[in-house]
Amino acid sequence: MAYSTANALPKSDAQASWTPHGPYSLRQSLGILQRGAGDPTARIKDSNAWLCFNTPSGAVTLLVTCSGAHQPEVRLNAWGPGADHAVERGLHLVGAYDDWGTFDAPETSVLLHPTVSRSRKFNRGLRLPSTGRVFDALLPAILEQKVTIIEANFAWRYLCKAAGGLAPGPAPEGMYLPPSPVAVRTLQPWQWHQARVDASRSSTALRAAAAAPALERWALLELGATRENVRGVGTLAAALESIPGIGPWTVAEVLQRTHGAADHVSVGDYHLAAFVGQVLTGARVDDSGMLELLAPFSGNRQRVVRLISLSGHRKQAFGPRVAPMDHRRR
């Protein structure tokens, strides 16, 4: 049976609420977790978000709702074996512990480009989410490596439907769980081809799935914490980069979602450096130029990038677009 927030929902297995101090934007804060409009694991709107995922206790469907403009209340309702775990981690997920104090301090604010200052003024409801789910962020980031977003989103939808499993509880029709590391390792070559995933990305995904149990040991640790005896590396970022096929761009994309990383910038992105340069200087720059522009905001560089993306500016288009490739007959 299909449900919506307008209909009566069955009693949830776990629930919680949170009253933010100040504005809160559900779409801006959680939108980074949705991989395209057709993402079968996440449906995020202005006032509600359906999220389906796996926890150490089992699968869960989580509904996050936000009501009230001036005094918002965020409510979490969860169904399934992982409901208690999801709600326990819920405040991290919605960004309740994301601290903008150093960014909003006068010594930082005075350095901001006017476009960024205006964006912060009109987007004070933005929080950086922290899911604590490493593989759920890592697999789609791998799928996005060096391809168009159209190709990556297609692959993500295919793999979720092929290997993710149906979401528990009153999840809207068409929602699925993300593939678990075990499920990814059982995928056949023909399934990767049907998903239009080339051999390089599928091999990286399989290596990531094999390393997932070790990677998840960092899931609930603070960013920058060390585990010297795990795979011979000191931090989650180092552990991720120790997997062949995973570089700084993928690491940043993962940590922005798993730990609300306020300083990790997606170096190597096809569009980002040129866009940041365009907004901050009026001219395109490369990765080193972008990092130089963001250097005064060390510790908050990703906050600057997110505010630029919400500023209303659009990247200037030059040259031909990259065409999606079909790997099914390769």
Under the banding of pLDDT at 50, 70 and 90, the label for residue 232 is very low
Residue 326: predicted pLDDT: 57
More confident residue, 319 or 108: 108
Over residues 67-73, mean pLDDT: 84
Which residues, 6+ apart, have CB-to-CB distance to 284 below 8 Å? 273, 274, 277, 278, 316
Over residues 279-305, mean pLDDT: 97
Residue 84: predicted pLDDT: 98
Q: At what angle do helices 248-258 and 134-143 cross, to 10 degrees?
A: 140
Q: Does the pLDDT value for residue 125 go beyond 60? A: yes
Q: Does the pLDDT value for residue 32 go beyond 60? A: yes
Contact 281, 293 (CB under 8 A): yes
pTM: 0.91
Tokens of 229: 């005896």
Residue 225: predicted pLDDT: 72
Under the banding of pLDDT at 50, 70 and 90, the label for residue 226 is low
Q: Report the range of poorest mean pLDDT among 7-21, 45-59, 231-245.
A: 231-245
Under the banding of pLDDT at 50, 70 and 90, the label for residue 227 is low
Residue 224: predicted pLDDT: 73
Distance between CA atoms of residues 139 and 204, nearest Å: 9
Distance between CA atoms of residues 11 and 293, nearest Å: 50
Under the banding of pLDDT at 50, 70 and 90, the label for residue 221 is confident
Phi, psi of 30, rounded to the nearest 5 degrees: -95, -10
Handedness of CA 117, 122, 125, 127 (dihedral sign): negative
Over residues 52-80, mean pLDDT: 94
For residue range 144-203, list pLDDT tens digits in order: 999 999 999 999 999 999 999 999 999 999 999 999 999 999 999 999 999 999 999 999
Under the banding of pLDDT at 50, 70 and 90, the label for residue 295 is very high
Neighbouring CB atoms inside 10 A of 28's CB total 20
Residue 319: predicted pLDDT: 52
Q: Does the pLDDT value for residue 320 go beyond 80? A: no
Q: Does the pLDDT value for residue 323 go beyond 70? A: no
Beta pairing partners, 54? 59
Q: Residue 62 carries which DSSP code?
A: E
More confident residue, 27 or 6: 27
Q: Report the range of poorest mean pLDDT among 48-52, 92-96, 122-126, 216-220.
A: 216-220
Beta pairing partners, 49? 44, 64
pLDDT above 70 covers a percentage of the chain that reads: 90
Instruction: Look at residue 138 and give its three-state secondary structure.
Output: helix
Contact 172, 48 (CB under 8 A): no
Over residues 72-100, mean pLDDT: 97
Under the banding of pLDDT at 50, 70 and 90, the label for residue 220 is confident
Residue 4: predicted pLDDT: 47
Buried b (16+ CB within 10 A) or exposed e, 293-314: bbeebeebbbbbbbbbbbbeee
